[in-house]
Amino acid sequence: MGSTAPGAAVTVTVVEVDLGGVTPAALAACDAALPADERDVAPARRVARAALRTVLGDALGVAPADVPISRRCAHCGDPVHGKPFVPGAALACSLTHTGTLALVAWANAPVALGVDAERVRPRVHLDRLAARVLGPAEHTRWRALPEAERCAAFLRAWTAKEAYVKATGRGIAALLGGVPATVPGWTVGALPLPEGYVGALAVDAEPVGVVRSVWDPAGRGPAGGGGPVP
């Protein structure tokens, strides 16, 4: 699914999935990739889950519906709200979706891995959100930006923090204001995404190579290239 970046400690494949305009036939094909208990959600989530299962199935050599994905929380034991993982497999994965975009990130290594994306759109009470999510120094720098740049800048910082807490398995239980902008031993960087979206990848390794790919719900194969996370 791409080429390894020279010198990378680990290579992560980030797969883009276009959730817009999925035909009934494509949705039916996605449903066929899901166990019955994963089909009772909105179409966009079903497509995103099918992409995750297809990518992992290709990596493991099993049918997508047979990939034994667990979402048991490592912190509280809840069976459904933890980060997805495959018990016993030496790989890592993460999934996010927003608007008409989903991202599947995976690595053929037992690393901590998280991906997050957000659609860039006006946020109500952006100042309050920034004060809660950004650390004091980050907030000061954010306030110094021209107002027209603040929304996208906030979302870049937000997705970086979300990717990190997803990688650690803490998810929404974490207070983002306490998440540092840089973490020793980790690679946390922005991902180049389609216009109107921002996203980030977090991995507990340095350096990290990234291979970009595309998954078409209609069934066409992935394609992409790679490079280091800045």
Whether 170 is in a domain gets the answer: no
Whether 217 is in a domain gets the answer: yes
Whether 132 is in a domain gets the answer: no
User: Which residue segment(s) compose the domain that 39 sits in?
Assistant: 10-119+181-228
Whether 19 is in a domain gets the answer: yes
Give the residue-averaged pLDDT of 149-169. 95
More confident position, 218 or 106: 106
Dig out the tokens for 114 from the structure. Answer: 């998280």
Whether 48 is in a domain gets the answer: yes
Percent residues over pLDDT 70 in the chain: 89
Whether 139 is in a domain gets the answer: no
What whole-number distance in Å separates Cα of residue 181 and Cα of residue 165? Answer: 12
Whether 107 is in a domain gets the answer: yes
CA-nearest of 61, 37, 60 to 49 is 37
Whether 192 is in a domain gets the answer: yes
More confident position, 164 or 219: 164
Q: Is the pLDDT of residue 17 over 90?
A: yes
CATH number at residue 216: 3.90.470.20
More confident position, 5 or 150: 150
How many domains does the chain contain in total?
A: 1
Using one digit for the tens of pLDDT, what is the confidence trace for 47-101? 999 999 999 999 999 999 999 998 877 777 776 777 888 999 999 999 999 999 9
Q: Is the pLDDT of residue 225 over 60?
A: no
pTM: predicted TM-score of the whole model, two decimal places: 0.90
